[in-house]
Amino acid sequence: MGESRPFHHSVQLYHEESDLVDALARFAEGGLAQGEGVVVIGSAPRWKALTGRLRAGGIDTHGAVLRGQLRLFDAKVILSSCMGRGVPDRLAFDEAIGGILGLMRMRYPALRVFGEITDILWAEGRREAAEAIERFWNAFVEGQPLSLLCACPLDALDGRAYEGALQRVCALHTHLVPARDCNAFNDAVSSAIREVLEPQLVGMLHSLSAQHRPGTQMPVGQAVMLWLRQHMPRTAEKVLARARARM
């Protein structure tokens, strides 16, 4: 996560739960090391996995919890308080999140927040509600010294992710991290492209994808795949198949 902006709203795609826990641990560890407050709006299983991973890395999670620097809030409880007639309610969301962040900022002005609410809604197939929650987050915390990490169970090497879902996720976040190691992802996509396309077309593809790169920051390989899927869908499927075989 870069630190050039006061507000980051990142989404971590994941295929395996362990990959998400690894990403969450890195996110939390970075905040604790910099003296930031770390808020986890999540589930008990992920909290347990996170604190276990942090302790394995030498982090005193007990001390961080005691001094209020690391805190858990139940995502399902928060979600239930934000719903009105079955759909997300903006005022209720602002009240719930405002209370949580306000209390944390009394001691820790800079915060890192992991939000599992969207992940819950996405897993339940309630994608419109999930997108509404992401818009609420953007409106509520933009410009604040806060890094927000969300999670979405999508694999950027799965062709089905490009049937609109991935594009909508990108539009709601400042940063996107693929489900797999970024360098390995870029290498796999790059190698697959060289196998599928003629050499003279490879450079053209990279140039075009760079010119039409989404506003969301993401690995080069991801930007290339989004362009391919939109403009050369059959080629995109071939590239994805070869890239998957390399991961």
Q: Domain check: are 211 and 133 in the same one?
A: no
Domain limits for position 114:
7-153
Distance CA 141, CA 188 (A): 35
Q: Does some domain include residue 174?
A: no
Instruction: Note the pLDDT of residue 141.
Output: 83
Q: Domain check: are 132 and 223 in the same one?
A: no
State the average pLDDT over residues 3-28. Answer: 85
Residues 208, 50 contacting (CB under 8 angstroms): no
Q: Domain check: are 149 and 36 in the same one?
A: yes
Instruction: Note the pLDDT of residue 6.
Output: 58
Across 35-44, 160-169, 172-181, 191-200, which has the greatest mean pLDDT? 35-44
Instruction: Note the pLDDT of residue 194.
Output: 93
The domain spanning residue 27 has which CATH number? 3.40.50.300
The count of domains in the chain is 2
The pLDDT confidence band at residue 2, using thresholds 50, 70 and 90, is: very low
The pLDDT confidence band at residue 246, using thresholds 50, 70 and 90, is: confident
The pLDDT confidence band at residue 1, using thresholds 50, 70 and 90, is: very low
Written as six digits, the tokens of 232 are 């050369």
Instruction: Note the pLDDT of residue 84.
Output: 84
Q: Does some domain include residue 164?
A: no
Domain boundary among 101, 132, 153: 153
Residues 193, 239 contacting (CB under 8 angstroms): yes
Flag whether pLDDT at 207 surpasses 90.
no
Across 65-74, 173-182, 191-200, which has the greatest mean pLDDT? 65-74
> pTM of this prediction?
0.88
DSSP state string for 21-53: HHHHHHHHHHHHHTT-EEEEEE-HHHHHHHHHH
- Give the 3-state secondary structure of residue 180: coil
The pLDDT confidence band at residue 3, using thresholds 50, 70 and 90, is: very low
Q: Domain check: are 28 and 109 in the same one?
A: yes
The pLDDT confidence band at residue 240, using thresholds 50, 70 and 90, is: very high
Written as six digits, the tokens of 30 are 């970075």
Flag whether pLDDT at 5 surpasses 60.
no
For β-strands 37-42 and 111-115, DSSP reports them as parallel
Q: Does some domain include residue 175?
A: no
Q: Does some domain include residue 37?
A: yes
Q: Domain check: are 201 and 139 in the same one?
A: no
State pLDDT tens for residues 113-131: 999 999 999 999 999 999 9
Written as six digits, the tokens of 63 are 């001390």
